[in-house]
Amino acid sequence: MKALAKVEVRKLTTQDYDAMINVWELAGLPHKPKGRDNRENTAKQIELFPEFYLGAFQGNTLVGVVIASYDSRMKGWINRLAVVPAYRRQGVAEQLVRKAEESLKKRGAKIFCALIELPNEESVGLFQKTGYALHKDILYVTKRESNDI
């Protein structure tokens, strides 16, 4: 097992946008640069909810990202969790999840959720390890104006 990475988890800023996209690309996480993940939309969201955009930094290098969201009904969401492959299995994702949960608790969240696109057994294992229950009886449906958003 690798040693734990010494990272600092802190809020992301609009200046971290390119580094965030880079982490997602290196991690193989799909993103929508013409839709929900575009620079302008991301900047607005960071301004509205700065505590929900978190990054794991080793020095000045962004190595992990998580975005949280809160639905105002005691339910918080862990979204867009990604760690650069060289930093996986070193506790980075767990640190990001814990910090996101802390931010969500401050808003009133009592239930924490995440959606995982399969196949992704690593993420399923991570969330189970951190206390999340796997529900195989829930279906996720969406309706989109475009596949780009």
Full set of structural domains in the chain with CATH: 8-129 (3.40.630.30)
Provide the pLDDT for residue 2.
Answer: 60
Residue 68 bridge partners (DSSP): 78
Provide the pLDDT for residue 36.
Answer: 85
Provide the pLDDT for residue 31.
Answer: 87
Q: Indicate the DSSP class of residue 85.
A: G
Provide the pLDDT for residue 142.
Answer: 84
Q: Could you tell me the sign of the dihedral formed by the alpha carbons of 120, 98, 63, 41, in that order?
A: positive
Tokens of 39: 């620079």
99, 8 contact by CB (below 8 A): no
The parts of the chain modelled with pLDDT lower than 50 are 1
97, 81 contact by CB (below 8 A): yes
Provide the pLDDT for residue 126.
Answer: 94
Other C-beta atoms lying within 10 Å of the C-beta of residue 59: 9
Q: Give this prediction's pTM.
A: 0.90
